[in-house]
Structures are given as C-alpha cells and as structure tokens.
A and B are shown apart, each in its own frame.
Chain A
C-alpha cells in the first residue's frame, strides 16, 4: 500500500497530466491547474510533485522536441503509467463507495453546499 500513497496535490497533478495528454509538461500543467483551482502555483511545487511521482512510478517522462521558445530548451512530456490509472480508479471507487454509504450526510452536505 505504501507505494500507492498519493498526496492530495499529487493526485490533482496526476489527473491534470492525464487530462493534458500529449501536452503534459511543466508549465502547461501549472497553467491548467491554476485555471481549474483558481489560484497561483509555483513551478517548484508542480515540479517537486512530478519528480516525486516519477520516483514512485506513477509517471514516466521523455524529452519532447527542442523549440525556439524556452531559450532552446526541450520540454519534458509526462505520461501516467497504467499503475497510476489503476490507483486513480481505486481512489475514485473508494470515494464513490464512501459517498454511497452516507446518504444522509451527503444530503446535508449537498444542502450546505447549495
């Protein structure tokens, strides 16, 4: 279980990587998450999450092609591993089951949120 441990922020970054597909590189992930979360994030926070997840083999990465932008430096494109997909699915299932198990509370929460 230890390996599957995924922090909340890491989970968000991981899902963004999946969403962005071919375009999943540092700055793009940052932009996407910033717009969705409606807050500013630093490169450092995104990058450290990416590196940690890569080490825990949720992600693989490879260099993209060099462009004129970015001072000629290559992008590193991230890709979620099948294992990551499985973990994401597992977490979603757990959550769904939990939601289903607490109808009253859910109703109350829904009411509160509205």
Chain B
C-alpha cells in the first residue's frame, strides 16, 4: 500500500478475473462503469472499502448474460478434436505397416505390463484377507544346531495354550497341525480329503468364512468336525441340514459335523477341506503332549496396541522352561508378512519373495517404457512424411500448442487402441498364464483396475506422445519447407543406446531359456541312483494297514506287477525321517550329525534298484535282519568307518549291525547335496505301498490292483501316484521359470526388433538422399544393403558383447542353487548371440532392401 501508484487502482486480481470471464464486446463499457464507481467510492469511503466494493461488483458481474459464451468455445474444441481424429485415422490407413508395428509393439508391452500388474497385485494379497491380520502372528522356532540356526514352523503342540494362559496380551491362540489326506465316508460315499487338527479358537484367529455353526463352538466337542462347503456337497450332495450328521473317519471313528466353512480363498496359502479338534489330536497322537516334540504350528492374535518386540522378549524361554528342547527359541512374526518375507538365515529374516516381486514389478515398468520409447522412435522416424504437413500448418498459423495437441491426441488414440488390444491379449493368455504361475487371476474390472488402466493409458499416451509432440512441433517452418530436418548426435546416440539395451535384454533372456532348459533335461536324465520308472505308490489305509504283509503277497500276484514293497515314507521330493540319534566308534563328543533315514520293508532295495556296493541287502531268510541298517556311501564317509560291513552302529539307543552299503542316490531334488542316509528294516512301521508295473500294460495292471484293493479294503478309494510325476514335481519351480523365460524372451525379442526396425526406418529416411547419390554414382543394391546393415550389425554386436558376460554371470548365479548342475557350454552363448544377430538382420534386411532398391530419381527429385 506504500506505493502511491497502487493506491487509486482497483485490485489487480479481480480486474484480471473480470477480463478473463467478461465478453470482449462488453469489456470497455463495464470496466469503465465499475472504475467510475470505484473512483466515486474512493472519494466517498476509504480506499480499502472501495476495493472491497469493486471486488463485490466484479463477482456479481458473473452472470450468464455477460460472461463469455463457453459453449461456443467448446464447439470449436470438438471440431478440432474431430479434425485430429480424422487426421489420425487417415494416417493409420495410409501407413498401415507403421500402424500395425506400433500397435503390435504397444499392445504387447501393455499386455505384458497388465499381466505382471495382475500377478504382482495378487502376490501382495496373499494371506491378507484375515480380519485380524494386523495382529495375527505365527510363532516360529529357531533351532540352534552345531551348523548354525535353522528356522522352522514346528513348535510344541501345547505352546499356544501356554501362551494364552500366561501372557495377558494374547487375545486368541491356536495350534494348527500339518495337513494330511484322510478318507471320510457318509453312507456309500468315500472321499479322500485334506484335513488338519486345530485349536478351539481357530476361527477366531483366522477369518476362514464359517457359513454354518458358531465360531466359538464348532471346535469344542472332541468328536466334532468342521467341513468345507465343497466337501459337504461331495459327501452329502447338499449343504442343507448337514450340521449334526455323523461322518465316518477312516472307517473306524465317527465324527459329528459341527459347522461348514467356505473353502479358503485362492489368496490363502493354507488349503484344507476339513478340521478336527485339538482334543481329538491329543487323544489320537499323545506324543504331541511332550514339549520335546515339535510338530504343529502355533498362531496367536495379540490384543490391539500390543508391542510385538516386548512379546517376543517374553516368550524367548517358554519352551526351555516347560522342559522342551533346550536349543529351541520361539519368536512371533506377522503371519501376513511371511508369504513375501518368509526366508530366515541363521535366525534372522533375510527377505524372501518380496524382492523378486518388486523386481518383476520394475520389469513391467521397464517393458512399458521400452514399448513407449519404441513408439516415439517410430513416429519420429517417419518425420519426413509429416514434415510438410507440419510446415504448412505452421506457416498458415497453427500454434505450437495446437500441433502438440494434435500429436498428443494421436498417441493417446494409439494408446487407447493398443490398450483394447492388450486387454484382448490378456484375456486370451490368462488361462495359460494362470496354469504356469499356479494362480487364479482374472480380468475383473474393479474400480482399482479401471483406475490402473486409466493411469496406464494416460502415462503411455503422454509418454509416447511427448517426444514427437515437442520435437516435431518445435521445427522452424522455413527450415521444414526447405527440406531440412534437424537432428543431433546426442539424439542418434540415444536411439542407438536404446536398441543396444533392448538387445542385451534379449540375448540374456535367450541364454537363460537355454540354460534353464538344459538344467531341467539334466535333472531328468542324470542317473539318480535308483530306478523311478513305472513305480506307483499309494497309502495302505484302514484294514490294509493291519494286514499289509498278506496284501503285499497278493499284490505281487497281480499280473503286470513285477515287484512290490512298502515304506514309512513317500520317497521323492517329500518327507523322509531324519535323526541325530546315532553314535559310532570314533564319534567326537560334541559332534552332531543329522542323517536321513527310511523305514522300509523287505524287497524295498530291490524294488527301487538301489545299487549295493558292499555287503548285502535285507533278506527274509534272516529273521535277525529286522532293525538292521544299510547306509549310503556318504554316511560311511561322514562316520569315517573303514570296511563297514558287519560293524556296529548305535541307532536310537540300540546297537545295530551294518548289513551293507548302497551307492549314493538322490532322494531330493538336485538343489540339495546328497547327505548321509540309511535304510532301516522295520516292516511293521510301513504303510506306503510301492509297486513296479511292467511297462506297456500299466492300465490293465492298475485295474487289477484296484480290484484287489477294493476286495480287501472296502470303503476306501484306490488313489495312487506315479513316482516319476512326484519326482518331476520337485522341479515345478524350474519348469515355471523355463516357461516364463520363454515367453519373456519372445516378448523381449519382439520389442527389441521393433526398436531396431524403428532405428532402421529412421536411418533409411535420413540417408535417402545419400543412397540416391550413391546409386547414381554406380553403387549396387548389394553394396547399399551392406552399407546400411553394417551399422546395425555393429550395434547388435555391441549388445552381444555386453550381454554375454552378463548372462554368464546370471546363469552361474542361478545354477549355484543346484548342488548338481550342468556346466555352462560355450555354445549356449554362441547360439544366443547368433540368434540375436540373425533376427536383427532379418528385421533390418527388409528396411534396407527397400531403401536400397529405391529409384534415385524419386528421392532426389525434390532437391
């Protein structure tokens, strides 16, 4: 206010506002009117009041009769948009190949990004549906061994109860047993279903949807069972009036259905069909009451506001204090975090899946960015086709803004068409994608997805439109019409750099496809130390468990069964026993050695064709063989026993004679080193039947076994598995990696070819005059093709040079995970490099040939 010039002037902002909204033709008159009033008011009142009154007058001038006719403006706008749309569509029609290439590139990129978005989203939703998820903790246990701390979910079964009773911050606690398949029957229907035992508060801890029954009551009665809706429909054919009915459990116990729950959603890692009570658990397996036995998992819900660190400090000694194993320390971790951050090393969390999920999210962004940049490249490469249009428009008076808007709308329209295409692609490949990733993703248009799509559309459109919009609209009309196109070295460098980057990616992916494929082949072909072909396994349930020996005798008589035996474990990929309780002559006092073991029946070694390299196998002729052991080579080496056959080893507190030694074999996947292991003859402990079928007549043999099984064991279904299927399942992750790598490699190749194509098109455009002159001076087509391709060969060669060490490094890292792995061959890299080069030539060849065969008169005419 100190400035006197301002004193007698009306407020600037309202003046500006007035000019903005008032119709031009009224401006002078009305501005004059209110200024006259303002002057008058300044004299009558204070300046401040005059200004206030002026503002008031301006605001009250906003009336339909006086403001600008916005509707007229809008009409002009739609007109321009229409014009832009027509221009865009025309240019698509005219340059069909460019349109298709852009469409292909952008929609592939978008589809990839969308798929990854769906996947990442679902990964972040896993186990997050529990209502009390923010205070639902799983209690894990750290096992302190002589070779470091290992972290496990097995805890004493009584731990939850103790925690709930002794710690006030625990609101609910429950135990949850491992999952097993059991046969449930109602009348004549026998269903094998996956069940577990759980504590009373199970449904208070987890939010599995209980449709019928009270969540506080359903797991109270010892003989109660809560079944899933699906199981109820299978067993009873309905879910109505099911509660209260009796169900046969393994044909020897009766349970009463106390509730029905909805099967856990796909976003749950824990999938089960029915739940039995903790009371029943204690009765049927009294060993779990011992604190030294760690087997089930423990879950707690803490009261709101509880401090997890304080809680963890309180529970450190709880297992020791209750006479549990002294080397086991429990600690609680947020359950919903475990899926993504479930890796522990030496008792400390070391991340887990989260890192790779984030990495994949980043890759999605990269793919989209590359697709956008390619689009930019292609549209700027075609600049000379549009340059006259731009020049004339500018000369006629189009502003830069108008031109920018035109290019922007062009790219947004393109992005929109691509988005629609990519949705179609996603819809098509989703079933395949689901089967590869083991997910059940679906394209549901939730608000979130629509918003994500909108944002993607905007980003893609604006990102890919921005460069052409800024670049093309900035040309000087005079220069354009003279035929000069501006360009700089930096720009060319950027274009080339991008192509190099894309090819590096492609080569790395090609190498990884080869390496993963070879490693999988290796795991399937390598001698694993036993013969897994044509072996079936099934569990002996009910009666059979008690009459196993007669059943095995009968089984061997079924035509097509060449050999049969039984064990206490299912071999490949899953559970075997392990123990520390071994001692031998010369064992150090503080040495702890963990050995895997299998309790087996007679003929087992022969059935799976393990190779005996010393001593002999178990034999029925010697009754004293029961309890004796056969070690593998590794075990003998670990124990340091020389000339082992006949020596004595103490197993589980009893001295046992070593009968023989087998060659090392691979129980487990090739990720793990073959460890020390032994077989122990315990026919009475076995319940998994294994048989080898004669090749060629498997189906008839299986029918024969089924008839036998039903005759001897009515009420149970004959469900078997082939061992090689189980064995292959161990490499499911690798199979998945291989398939995904293949897809991603194809996408990378497509996208990088588009990048190269764009660059080739750009170069050909720029050098068209040069080519014309060369041709006039006598250059042959071949010469020119060589000249142009030479450039690209250099670019791709550079990419290969960068990619090979990188892919070597990555492949070595991936193979590190396998204890038994292929060695990297030079030809993996050579193949990948040559393939990349070949694809590049193919891409560029078309462009260069077109450029080289151009009629020089045509391209030089305009000069």
Contacts and interface: CB of A to CB of B under 8 A. Distances in A.
Interface of A: 25-27, 30, 42-45, 47-48, 51-52, 63, 69-71, 73-76
A44 B55 CA distance: 12
B425 interface: no
Interface string B24-67: 00101111111111010000000000000000110011111110
Which of B35, B36, B60, B61 gathers the greatest number of chain A CB atoms within 10 Å?
B36
Nearest to A49: B65
Contact of A75 (B32, B39, B63): B32
Given A52-B65, A74-B29, A69 B60 contact: no
B63 A73 contact: no
Nearest to A69: B36
Contact of B57 (A43, A52, A73): A43
Contacts of A69: 36, 39
Given A42-B57, A70-B36, A51 B31 contact: no
Contacts of B65: 47-48, 51-52
A51 B63 CA distance: 11
10 contacts: A42-B56, A42-B60, A43-B30, A44-B57, A47-B26, A48-B63, A51-B26, A51-B66, A69-B36, A74-B28
A43 B61 contact: yes
Nearest to A29: B33
A47 to B, nearest CB: 6
Contacts of B28: 63, 73-74
Contacts of B26: 47, 51
Given A51-B66, A74-B28, A27 B39 contact: no
Contact of B33 (A27, A45, A63): A27
Main secondary structure of the interface of B (DSSP, over half): helix
A30 B37 CA distance: 10
Contacts of A71: 31-32, 35
Nearest to A73: B32
Nearest to A55: B65
A45 B62 CA distance: 10
A44 B61 contact: yes
A77 B64 CA distance: 22
Nearest to A72: B32
B36 A27 contact: yes
B66 A27 contact: no
Main secondary structure of the interface of A (DSSP, over half): helix
A73 B60 contact: no
A70 B35 contact: yes
A74 B60 contact: no
A71 B61 CA distance: 19
A72 to B, nearest CB: 8
Which of B29, B39, B61, B66 gathers the greatest number of chain A CB atoms within 10 Å?
B29
Interface of B: 26, 28-37, 39, 56-57, 60-66
Given A42-B56, A47-B26, A71-B32, 7 more contacts: A44-B61, A47-B65, A48-B65, A51-B66, A71-B35, A73-B31, A74-B32
A21 B30 CA distance: 19
Nearest to B35: A71
B53 to A, nearest CB: 10
A43 B29 contact: no
B66 A47 contact: yes
B36 A47 contact: no
A74 B35 CA distance: 11
B251 to A, nearest CB: 92
B61 A47 contact: yes
Given A27-B37, A43-B37, A44-B57, A76 B29 contact: yes
B35 A73 contact: yes
Nearest to A61: B29
Contacts of B37: 27, 30, 43
B146 to A, nearest CB: 91
A52 B64 CA distance: 10
A26 B32 CA distance: 9
A76 B30 CA distance: 9
A47 B56 CA distance: 15
B323 to A, nearest CB: 90
A40 to B, nearest CB: 10
A47 B33 contact: yes
Given A42-B56, A42-B60, A43-B60, A48 B32 contact: no
Nearest to A52: B65
Contacts of A48: 63-66
A47 B67 CA distance: 11
Contacts of B57: 42-44
Contacts of B63: 44, 47-48
B60 A44 contact: yes
The list of the 10 closest CB pairs from A to B, nearest first, reads A73-B32, A44-B60, A70-B32, A26-B33, A48-B65, A76-B29, A42-B60, A44-B61, A48-B63, A70-B36
A75 B64 CA distance: 22
A34 to B, nearest CB: 11
A64 to B, nearest CB: 10
